[in-house]
Amino acid sequence: MSHKYDLLTVGNAIIDILVTVEEDFLVEQKLDKSAMKLVDADESNALYSKVGAATERSGGSAANTAVGYGYFGGKASYIGTIAKDQFGTIFNHDMDASGVDYTPIYVEGKPTSQSIILVTPDGERTMNTYLGASTDLGPEHIDDELILSAKTVYFEGYLWYQPPAKAAFDHIAKLTKGTDTKISVSLADQFCVDNFRDSFKSLIDDGTIEILFANEDEIKALYQVDTFEAALVENAKTGVLSFITRGANGAVAQQGDVTEYASVDPVFDIVDLTGAGDIFASGALYGLEHGMSLADSTKLGCVAAREVIQHMGPHPTVDIISVAKKAGLL
Amino acid sequence: MSHKYDLLTVGNAIIDILVTVEEDFLVEQKLDKSAMKLVDADESNALYSKVGAATERSGGSAANTAVGYGYFGGKASYIGTIAKDQFGTIFNHDMDASGVDYTPIYVEGKPTSQSIILVTPDGERTMNTYLGASTDLGPEHIDDELILSAKTVYFEGYLWYQPPAKAAFDHIAKLTKGTDTKISVSLADQFCVDNFRDSFKSLIDDGTIEILFANEDEIKALYQVDTFEAALVENAKTGVLSFITRGANGAVAQQGDVTEYASVDPVFDIVDLTGAGDIFASGALYGLEHGMSLADSTKLGCVAAREVIQHMGPHPTVDIISVAKKAGLL
* DSSP one-letter code for B140: G
Type of residue found at B206: D
**Rounded (10°) CA dihedral B147, B151, B156, B162:** 20
Phi, psi of B87 (to 5 degrees): -65, -35
Listed residue (B245, B267, B243) closest to B255, CA to CA: B243
The interface pTM score, or ipTM, of the predicted complex is: 0.86
Q: What is the mean pLDDT of chain A?
A: 95
CA distance B106 to A109: 23
Query: Residue B251 in contact with residue B298, Cβ under 8 Å?
Result: yes
* Mean pLDDT of the A232-250 span: 97
Burial B151-173 (b: 16+ CB within 10 A, else e): bbbbbbbbbbbbeebbbbbebbb
B301 pLDDT above the threshold of 70:
yes
B1 pLDDT above the threshold of 80:
no
B315 pLDDT above the threshold of 70:
yes
Chain A positions in Cβ-Cβ contact with residue B66 (cut-off 8 Å): none
CA distance B250 to B305: 10
Distance from CA of A86 to the nearest CA of B (A): 6
Burial B72-110 (b: 16+ CB within 10 A, else e): bebbbbbbbbbbebbbbbbbbbbbbbbbbebebbebeeb
pLDDT value at position B268?
A: 82
* Mean pLDDT of the A132-141 span: 97
Taking residue A167's Cβ as centre, other Cβ atoms within 10 Å add up to 16
Bigger pLDDT: B56 or A318? B56
Listed residue (A135, A264, A288, A134) closest to A211, CA to CA: A288
Q: Can you name the residues that pair with A154 across neighbouring β-strands?
A: A9, A184
Distance from CA of B143 to the nearest CA of A (A): 26
* Domain segments of chain A as ranges: 5-12+61-110+135-326
> How many Cα atoms are found within 13 Å in the side-chain-facing hemisphere of A260?
17
| Pairing label, strands B113-119, B125-130 | antiparallel
What is the phi-psi region of residue B258: left when phi exceeds 0, alpha when psi lies from -120 to 50, beta otherwise?
beta
Question: Mean pLDDT lowest for which of A203-212, B177-186, B301-310?
Answer: B301-310
Fold of B5-12+60-108+137-326: UDP-N-acetylmuramoyl-L-alanine:D-glutamate ligase (3.40.1190)
Chain A contact for B278 (CB, 8 A cutoff) = no
Confidence band (pLDDT; 50, 70, 90) for A1? low
Query: Residue A118 in contact with residue A26, Cβ under 8 Å?
Result: yes
Fold of A5-12+61-110+135-326: UDP-N-acetylmuramoyl-L-alanine:D-glutamate ligase (3.40.1190)
Q: What is the mean pLDDT of chain B?
A: 95
CA distance A317 to A19: 18
Distance from CA of B221 to the nearest CA of A (A): 35
pLDDT value at position B303?
A: 95
Chain B positions in Cβ-Cβ contact with residue A48 (cut-off 8 Å): 93
Chain B positions in Cβ-Cβ contact with residue A57 (cut-off 8 Å): 53-56
Give me the DSSP letters along A98-164. Answer: TT-B---EE-SSSPPEEEEEEE-TTS-EEEEEE--GGGG--GGG--HHHHHTEEEEEEEGGGGGSHH
**What are the pLDDT digits (tens) for A118-130?**
999 999 999 999 9
Listed residue (B225, B197, B280, B273) closest to B35, CA to CA: B273
**What are the pLDDT digits (tens) for A269-315?**
888 888 999 999 999 999 999 999 999 999 999 999 999 998 888 88
* Mean pLDDT of the B98-119 span: 95
Asked whether the beta carbons of residue A56 and residue B56 sit closer than 8 angstroms, the reply is yes
Asked whether the beta carbons of residue B49 and residue A90 sit closer than 8 angstroms, the reply is no
Chain B contact for A97 (CB, 8 A cutoff) = yes
**What are the pLDDT digits (tens) for B199-219?**
999 999 999 999 999 999 999
Long-range Cβ contact pairs of A139-147 (< 8 A, separation 24 or more): A139/A164, A139/A167, A139/A168, A139/A171, A141/A79, A141/A81, A141/A105, A141/A168, A142/A79, A142/A168, A142/A171, A142/A172, A144/A175, A146/A8, A146/A77, A146/A79, A147/A8, A147/A172, A147/A175, A147/A176, A147/A181
Q: Helices in chain A by DSSP H: which ranges?
A: 23-28, 41-48, 61-71, 86-97, 144-148, 163-176, 190-205, 216-223, 228-238, 276-289, 294-308, 320-326
**What are the pLDDT digits (tens) for B265-277?**
888 888 888 899 9
Angle formed by the axes of helices A276-289 and A61-71, nearest 10°? 50
* Mean pLDDT of the B3-25 span: 96
Kindly tell me the burial class for residue A319, based on how many C-beta atoms sit within 10 Å of its own C-beta (0-12, 13-18, 19 or more). Answer: exposed
pLDDT value at position A268?
A: 82
Chain B positions in Cβ-Cβ contact with residue A55 (cut-off 8 Å): 55-57, 312-313
* Mean pLDDT of the B297-315 span: 91
B292 pLDDT above the threshold of 80:
yes
Type of residue found at A317: T
Asked whether the beta carbons of residue B98 and residue A54 sit closer than 8 angstroms, the reply is no
pLDDT value at position B249?
A: 93
CA distance B106 to B133: 8
A321 pLDDT above the threshold of 80:
yes
What percent of chain B clears pLDDT 70, i.e. is strictly above it? 100
A52 pLDDT above the threshold of 70:
yes
Confidence band (pLDDT; 50, 70, 90) for A47? very high
* Mean pLDDT of the A229-245 span: 98
Restricting to B residues 9-68, those with a Cβ less than 8 Å away from any Cβ of A are 20, 48-49, 51-58, 67
pLDDT value at position B92?
A: 96
Query: Residue A67 in contact with residue A315, Cβ under 8 Å?
Result: yes
Taking residue B316's Cβ as centre, other Cβ atoms within 10 Å add up to 23
- CA–CA distances in Å: residue A267 to residues A122, A220, A303, A306, A314: 12, 25, 11, 7, 16
Q: How far apart are the first and last CA of chain B?
A: 26
Asked whether the beta carbons of residue B315 and residue A53 sit closer than 8 angstroms, the reply is yes
pLDDT value at position B183?
A: 98
